[in-house]
Amino acid sequence: MSKKVNSLFANFALNSIILVLSLVAIISYTSKVLATQDDAWFESFKQTASDEQLYRLLYAMPKGGDLHNHISGSNFSEWWYELATNQSLNGGYRYYVKTALKHCQGYGLNQFGSSPSLLLFVNIQHSTFDSLPVCQQSEFTAIEALSEEQKEAWMKSIWLDKPHEGREEFFQAHWQRLNALTANPYIAAEMLVKNMQAFGAEGLIYLEAQANASHFKRPDGSHFPANQVANIYRNRLAKKDAIDTGVTVRLQHSIIRFLPHAEQILEQQYRFVNQHRDLYVGLNFVGREDNDKGHPLRFLPTLRKLRKTLPEVKLSIHAGEVDEPNYHVRDTLLLGADRIGHGLNLITDPDTMRLMRHNHYLIEINLISNLKLEYINTYADHPFPEYLRTGIPVALSTDDRGMWHSNMTDEFFVAVKEFGLTWSEINYLSENSIKYSFLDKETKSSLLSLFKKRMETFTKKVKSNRSSHDKSITTGNFICTYYEICLDD
C-alpha cells in the first residue's frame, strides 16, 4: 500500500512539474509571438517613416525613467538666465558675470583650478562681488544688465555649441563658469521641477537625479546646512506644479572622486543619505576618470568600514568613461555598485562582461554625452548594441543634457537610427530604467505597472491608425544639428 501511495504521489508531482513547465513554455512562446508582432509593425513603420515622423512617435511614446542625470548639468541656458535674474524664484540672490579681463590680479595665477582668472562669463553672487577690489568689480556686469551680445555669448558659454568644443571645454570651463549659480539651493530646486516638467512632457515617469545638499551658500555668503537644503527640495517637490508633472523623483548624492579629502566626503554623504532615505536613494562618484587620483579601489576601505555599522546605501558609480582599457568597471562592482555609469571600456574586459551578462548589474548608457565628450568618434564605435544584445542589462539616460541641448527622446532616436532598435528592445530599455532604479519595492512595482499599461495603450493606438501624437515639440540643438530634425510647433 505504501509503495502504491508513494508511486501515486511521485506521478502527481511529476505531472505537476510537467504542467508548470508547459505553462511557462506557453507563456514564454506567447510573449515572443506578441513581441514579434510588435516588432514587425515597428519595422514596417521605420521603413516608410521620415526621420521627423519617427521622432514624433518616439517623443509621444511612454518612457520609464532617467537614471543618470546630473541636475546641475541638465539645465538649458535660458532656464539659468530666467532663474538668475528672478529674485522671487531664486531666493533673493543677485548675480554678476565676468565680461572683461583687466588683469587686476597680475600674472602667473592658477588657470587650471576652480577659479581661473582669465575665464570669461564666470558667475558670482552679490556677496562675492561686494568683497572684490574696485578693479576686479569692473570686470563684472550685473547679469540683468548684460547687452544682447553679451547675453547671447553668456548663454552659449555653458553648453557645447561649437564643433571644436568637447571634453576639455566641458570639464574645464562649464562648471567653472556656472560657479555660484550651482551654489543656490532655490535655483537647484526650481531646476529640478523644470526638468520634471520637460521630462513629463515627453512621457517619463521617473527621475533619479544627482542633486547634492552640500556646498550651498546663502545670499550673504554663509553656508547652508545640508539638512535645510534637503527640506528646500522636499518643500518644492510637494508643490502642485511639481506633483502635476506625474514624474516621481528621488535623488543621489555625488562625490568628486579625485579630491584629496574624498574619503571624508564619502563618510559624510553616506551618513547623510542614510538619514534622508525618503528623498535620497544612493551615492555616486563623479569627476574625470582619467584623473587616476580617483581610482575606484581607493574607496574600498572606507565603504567597508561604513558598512560595518550602517545599512547598505545603494551605489551607482561612473566607471569606464575613459579612452584606455582598464579594470575600473570590475573594481567598481567590487565597491558594491549595482549600476555603472557609461561603462564604455567594459568592452575591453571580457571577464567582467561575462560576469555582467544576465546579472543584476545595469549600465547607464549615455549615447549623446559619449559623442559630445569625444569618448567615441562615431556611433559605430559605441559598445551599447553589444551589451544590449548579449544580455548585459542597459538603460538609456541623458547625463548632462542641458550642455548638449538634448532630451530622452533624442537618446531613443539615436539608438533606433544608429542601432536599429526593435519595439521589444525599446520596451526593455524603459522597463530597465524602472526595474534597476533605487526605488523601494512598492513604488517600483507601481511605476512599472503604470509604464506597462501606458505602453500597451500607446502601442495599440499607433498600430491601429499610425497616429503618433498630438503634442507640440520644440527640438534642441543636438537633434537639429546632427539629424536635421528642427521642430518648433
Give the domain CATH number at 241: 3.20.20.140
Whether 165 maps to a domain, the answer reads no
117 and 235 in a common domain: no
| 375 and 410 fall within a common domain | yes
pLDDT, residue 22, reads: 45
How many domains, the chain? 2
pTM of the predicted model as reported, rounded to 2 decimal places: 0.91
Instruction: Give the orientation angle of helix 262-275 with respect to helix 300-309, to 10 degrees.
Output: 30
Q: Are residues 193 and 274 in the same domain?
A: yes
SS (H, E, C) 52-79: HHHHHHHHHCCCCEEEEEEHHHCCCHHH
- Give, for 10, the enclosing helix (H) or strand (E): helix 2-48
The verdict on 379 and 287 lying in the same domain is yes
In a domain, 21, yes or no: no
Lookup result for grid cell 543618470: 68
215 and 110 within one domain = no
Does one domain contain both 261 and 379? yes
For a pLDDT cut of 70, what percent of the chain falls above it? 92
Which regions in the chain score pLDDT beneath 50? 5, 9, 19-34
Residue 41 within a domain: no
Residues 308, 260 share a domain = yes
**Per-residue model confidence (pLDDT) at position 109:** 85
CA 187/CA 211 separation, integer angstroms: 12
Q: Same structural domain for residues 196 and 237?
A: yes
Residues 397 and 464 in one domain: yes
Residue 222 is part of which domain span? 51-72+184-479
CA distance 330 to 347: 12
**pLDDT of the residue at 32:** 44
Is residue 484 one of the residues assigned to a domain? no
Query: According to the model, what pLDDT value does residue 14 have?
Result: 54
Residues 238 and 302 in one domain: yes
